[in-house]
Amino acid sequence: MSILIGLILVVAAYFIGNLDFAYIMVRAVKGEDVRNYGSGNAGTTNVLRTMGLKYAIPVFVLDALKGSVVILAARLLGFSEAWVAAAGIAVVCGHNWPVCLGFRGGKGTATSIGVFIVFDWPVALICIAVGLIFLAIFRMMSLTSIIGMVSLPIAVLIKSIFITHGAVFTPELVFALFLCCSTVFQHRANIKRIAAGTESKVGQKVKMGGDNKKGN
**Residue ranges per domain, the chain?**
3-204
**Residue 210 predicted with pLDDT over 70:** no
Mention every residue, 6+ apart, whose C-beta is less than 8 A from residue 100. Answer: 15, 18
Nearest to 192 by CA among 147, 142, 145, 151: 142
* pLDDT above 90 as % of the chain: 88
Please name which of 88, 96, 94 lies closest in space to residue 114, comparing C-alpha atoms. Answer: 88
Q: DSSP E strands: which ranges in the chain?
A: none
Q: Distance between CA atoms of 61 and 56, rounded to whole angstroms?
A: 9
> What would the pLDDT profile of 154-198 be if each residue is shown by its tens digit?
999 999 999 999 899 999 999 999 999 999 999 999 999 999 999
Mean pLDDT of 21-28: 97
pLDDT per residue as tens digits for the range 66-109:
999 999 999 999 999 999 999 999 999 999 999 999 999 999 99
In this prediction the pTM is 0.93
| Beta-carbon-side half-sphere exposure of residue 185 (alpha carbons within 13 Å) | 10
Please write the tens of the pLDDT for every residue from 113-149.
999 999 999 999 999 999 999 999 999 999 999 999 9
